[in-house]
Chain A
Amino acid sequence: MKVEIVDWQAVASWHWDLKDDSITDELCGICRVAFDGTCPNCKYPGNECPLILGAGCQHNFHLHCILQWLEQDTSKGLCPMCRQVFEFRKDFNTVTKDINSLLMLIDGHKSMRDREVDEEFDSFDDDLRMND
């Protein structure tokens, strides 16, 4: 029998793609709101506040939540859940202002950490020299 689809009035729900079936968490570790819900800073969920997927670790956060966390110097650029250096999957097709800020914060923390390591080495060198 001939059956053709002429028109759609589809209703669908949207979901963040966690890209990893092994992740069972559904809540942002920082604000404790579901990934598909709004972060405390947003009125609407969605593109304005994409889900940031951890790359070094498997922890995921709303963009604004992880931004707020990393804006604190004391965070030292670490994941608030597992204290590993926080990296995220950058497979977006556009880079918004907020995502750019996130990139810069992560970079900033990285260079801060590098400088601290350099300083440690320097003082280690100094100690060596003094012992001479």
Chain B
Amino acid sequence: MISTDIINSIFPRDTLNDIETDLENDLALFLEWISFKPPLMDPSPRIRVAIKNVVNINNFNGYLHNSINNNFPDITITTIDETMMNIKQVYQFYSDIGKFLGLDISPIINYKFQILLEKPQFQHLLITYFDDNLLQFDDCLSPVSPKFNPPAGDKGLKGDTGDTFFYQYLPIFNQLNVGDNIMKIVVSVLIKKIKEYILNNCVNYELFFIDSINQWIKTMIYPNFKILLRSIDANFNYLSEILTISHNEFISLRINQIFDMVKAYPQSEPGLIELNKCLNFKNESHNQRDRLVSIFLDKIDSELLNSGINTINLIKMYIKIIKSFLIIDAKGVLLDKVIRPLRAYLKHRDDIIQKLVIGLIDDSSSNELIALNIELSKSEKRKLKIDEFSDLNWVPDPIDALPDFKNFKIKDIIESLISIFDSKEIFINEFTKFFGNKLINRSDNDISKILKLINLLKLRFGKNEFFNLDIMIQDILNSSPQLTVLSHLYWSDIIPESTGSVHEELNKEFAHFNKNFQKKSFNRYLKMIPELSKVTLKVNGKNYQVDMHHASVIMMFKDKEEVGLDEVVRELNMNEYNAGNVLKFWVEEGVLLKLGGVYVTND
């Protein structure tokens, strides 16, 4: 390409005007002749003499170029038609001069037009022109298109558009030797068109689009584009490149939508599947994968990692991230990269273990994390699968995996959530507490359900982790409806601290249980746990099922008609608040009456 520097080095600053010889007159006449007044006049005999004299000047060629450079007319940029006609006229004028003189002046002419072409206004003019007309070249008359001879009388607007371009503009561009520039502009317009098409038509990630994009390229964009560019480059054949460009545009859109897509899972499955498809196309670089990861991580940081979002929603999102990213990348490498910050964050949420435990265990529709319960119920099948295939199907980790990538742990939702925490113990403790409370308030139906759940949990957390719960279950299975016997060391979370002693008569009755138990239990004896025990009493002909404290208090009235609060506190080692509550219960039941500072029977 010719630059100003090169021109200046070839042509000294001097112009033909500066030569002060006897040729002065001839020069004036010659300069007048070549000054831009289109069309170029046929030179008169006097001018011909002048030309003859000046061409013999030393380095005339250089002077001529310099003069054209300095006197080149400004081409005002108006409409495409006017501007192109203007260019044509200027070009014609100077190339006629060259022809007449028998000199090649195309370097300076092309250089001037090159500058014109690079002007933003002119670029803008061309971009607008191609933008408006690109999709109308298809039907037109093109010198190199297979449709060189269109059916007669079927021209219309499209035909006119093509005619104008191919017969009027294109020859000018070809003469100016600016095919590469035009090609660049057309490609930029093409990309703009593809972008617009995708942004206007493909935003909804709940639908599939790749097929319709390909179809649009093949029937709309490519034929027009090919006709146009083959007139510049006859070997043009870039369908696969254009498809790649459009797929890249499409991925860009989906990558920008990634956070919303994950949030919308499973409705967004079509979008995720197509993202996977595009990322796996042959020409795809790792750039898009990296961009996907960094955009998603930014979103996680700004949208999820703050205390305003409750733990349930965070876990829901965690599950969606796993499911979505395994669609995008089945190997789990991308998932591994995007899930790490959320894992680190969840680890320190106070209620996370409790929420996960309930999510896993509760099979009712009120469980907001029912997905975990469903996943747990699939554990049996999963275990089988892993045993069968683990060794046979081993493959090395993908190349862009992080060094501590764990293929197995990352893909399984429950495994992934458990592995957030360094030890399983906190889960086991929570399960033990949860099931312990269920077992102690048992109904027979519950026990078989609990057993089934614990068996599923054992598949996930390891069989031996549940030995404490196994003992608790064994205790319950060995118990009768009248008497539950606990191995106390294993119920420490459930057995409450003593809140009082038991009435003598209840203790005496309980001694029968102890006697029976000792008969079949070597040297073991029983201690009643009043806070967990219940008794059914018949009081004044009516049955009440109450705990030992309520029973003990009312039994004090068996032999006495009147008992004071202080007496209850003293005799049953209860605190005043609890004793007061129990008495209040019996008053509300109509069994006792409160008279001043004492309670009396209401027979």
B533/A12 in contact, CB under 8 A: yes
Q: Which of A4, A12, A94 contacts B513 (CB 8 A)?
A: A12
A130 within 8 A of B: no
A86 vs B491: C-alpha distance when bound (angstroms): 33
B482 touches A13 (CB 8 A): no
Known: A3-B555, A37-B489. A13 touches B526 (CB 8 A): yes
User: Which residue on B lies nearest to A17, using beta carbons?
Assistant: B523
User: Chain A residues near B470 (CB, 8 Å)?
Assistant: 43-44
A73 vs chain B, min Cβ distance (A): 28
Query: Which A residues are in CB contact (< 8 Å) with B522?
Result: 47, 50-51, 92-94
Contact of A6 among B510, B538, B603 (CB under 8 A): B538
| One of A2, A12, A94 near B540 (C-beta < 8 A) | A2
Docked-complex contact A12 and B519, CB < 8 angstroms: no
Contact across chains for A9 and B481 when beta carbons are under 8 A apart: yes
CB pair A53 B487 closer than 8 Å: no
The reply to whether A11 and B529 contact each other, CB–CB distance below 8 Å, is yes
How far in angstroms is the closest Cβ of chain B from A92?
Answer: 6
Interface residues of B in 475-505 (CB under 8 A from A): 481-491, 495, 505
Q: What CA separation (Å) do A69 and B154 show in the bound complex?
A: 109
B513 pairs with A10, CB closer than 8 A: yes
Task: Decide: B527 and A15 in contact? CB cutoff 8 A.
Answer: yes
Q: What 0/1 pattern do residues 1 to 33 of A give for CB contact below 8 A with B?
A: 111111111111111110100000000000000
Q: Which residues of B contact A112 (CB under 8 A)?
A: none
Interface residues contributed by chain B, number (CB under 8 Å)? 56
- Please indicate which of the listed interface residues B488, B523, B601 has the most CB atoms of chain A within 10 Å of its own CB: B523
Q: Which of A81-126 contact B (CB under 8 A)?
A: 91-94
**B536 contact from A7, A38, A44, Cβ within 8 A:** A7
A10 CA to B485 CA, complexed, in Å = 8
Residue A34, interface by CB 8 Å: yes
Q: Point out the residues of chain B lying under 8 angstroms from A36, CB to CB.
A: 487-489
> Is A54 engaged at the interface, CB distance under 8 Å to the other chain?
no
Least Cβ–Cβ distance between A18 and chain B, in angstroms: 8
User: Contact between A93 and B519 (Cβ–Cβ < 8 Å)?
Assistant: yes
Most buried by B among A2, A6, A14, A17: A14
Contact of B525 with A by CB under 8 A: yes
The reply to whether A7 and B535 contact each other, CB–CB distance below 8 Å, is yes
Q: Is the CB of A45 within 8 A of B471?
A: yes
* Cross-chain contact A9 with B482 (CB below 8 angstroms): yes
Q: For the complex, what is the distance from the CA of A93 to the CA of B523, rounded to whole Å? A: 9
B489 to A34, Cβ gap below 8 A?
yes
Cβ of A10 and Cβ of B557 under 8 Å apart? Answer: no
Number of A-B contacts defined by CB within 8 Å? 150
Cβ of A7: which chain B residues have Cβ within 8 Å of it? 482, 535-536, 545
A46 within 8 Å of B by Cβ?
A: yes
Contact B525 A17 (CB under 8 A): yes
- By a CB distance below 8 angstroms, the chain A residues around B601 are 1
A3 touches B482 (CB 8 A): no
CA distance A9 to B534 in the complex (A): 5
In the complex, which of the residues A5, A12, A44, A53 contacts B535, with contact meaning CB atoms closer than 8 Å?
A5
Q: Is B18 an interface residue (CB 8 A)?
A: no
Q: B360-392 toward A: CB 8 Å interface, digit per residue (1/0)? A: 000000000000000000000000000000000
A14 & B524 in contact (Cβ 8 Å cutoff): yes
Task: Report whether A10 and B521 are in contact in the complex, using a CB–CB cutoff of 8 Å.
Answer: no
Q: State whether B517 touches A14 (Cβ < 8 A).
A: yes
Smallest CB separation, B561 vs chain A (Å): 8
A contacts with B, residue count (CB < 8 A): 34
Assembled-state Cα–Cα distance A9/B488 (Å):
17
Q: How many angstroms between the C-alpha atoms of A2 and B481 in the bound complex?
A: 25
Contact in complex: B524, A17 (CB < 8 Å): yes
Contact A92 B523 (CB under 8 A): yes
Contacts of A4 in B (CB 8 A): 537-538
B5 within 8 A of partner (CB): no
Min Cβ gap B513→A in Å is: 6
* Contact (Cβ within 8 A) B554 A15: no
B344 within 8 A of A: no
The reply to whether A6 and B537 contact each other, CB–CB distance below 8 Å, is yes
Complex: how many Å from CA A97 to CA B497? 39
Interface centre among A2, A11, A19, A91 (most CB of B within 10 A): A11
* Residues on B with beta carbons closer than 8 Å to the beta carbon of A44: 470-471, 474, 487
Q: In the complex, what's the smallest C-beta–C-beta distance from B186 to chain A, in angstroms?
A: 80
Q: Which residues of A contact B487 (CB under 8 A)?
A: 13-14, 36-37, 44-46
Is B532 in the interface zone, CB < 8 Å from A?
A: yes
Distance A49 CA – B440 CA, assembled complex (angstroms): 25
A80 vs B17: C-alpha distance in the bound complex, in angstroms?
126
In the bound complex, residues from chain A placing their C-beta under 8 Å from that of B495 are 13
Q: B217 CB to closest chain A CB, in angstroms?
A: 69
Measured CB to CB, the nearest residue on chain A to B494 is A11
Q: Does B167 contact A (CB under 8 A)?
A: no
Q: Does B467 contact A (CB under 8 A)?
A: yes
Chain B residue with Cβ nearest A34 = B489
Closest CB in chain A relative to B181 CB, distance in Å:
85
Q: Complex: how many Å from CA A19 to CA B505?
A: 25
Closest chain B residue, CB of each to CB of A9: B534
A3-B537 CB under 8 A given contacts A14-B517, A14-B526: yes
Within 8 Å CB of B538, what residues of A? 2-4, 6
Q: In the bound complex, how far is the Cα of B242 from the Cα of A115, in angstroms?
A: 102
A1 contacts B603, CB within 8 Å?
yes
B543 within 8 Å of A by Cβ?
yes
Complex interface: chain B residues within 8 A of A17 (CB): 523-525
Contact status A13-B488, CB under 8 Å:
yes
Q: How far is B526's CA from A101's CA once the two chains are assembled, in angstroms?
A: 28
Chain A neighbourhood of B486, CB < 8 A: 11-14
B554 touches A3 (CB 8 A): yes
Closest chain B residue, CB of each to CB of A37: B489
Tell me the complex Cα distance, A19–B545, Å: 36
Residue of A whose beta carbon sits closest to that of B531 = A11
Q: Are A15 and B482 in contact (CB under 8 A)?
A: no
Task: Identify A3's interface contact among B491, B520, B539, CB under 8 A.
Answer: B539
Can you give 19 contacting A-B residue pairs, CB < 8 Å? A3-B539, A7-B482, A7-B536, A7-B545, A8-B509, A8-B510, A10-B510, A10-B513, A10-B533, A12-B483, A13-B487, A14-B486, A14-B524, A14-B525, A17-B524, A36-B487, A46-B524, A50-B522, A94-B522
Query: Lowest 5 A-B CB distances belong to which pairs?
Result: A13-B488, A11-B532, A7-B536, A12-B526, A50-B522
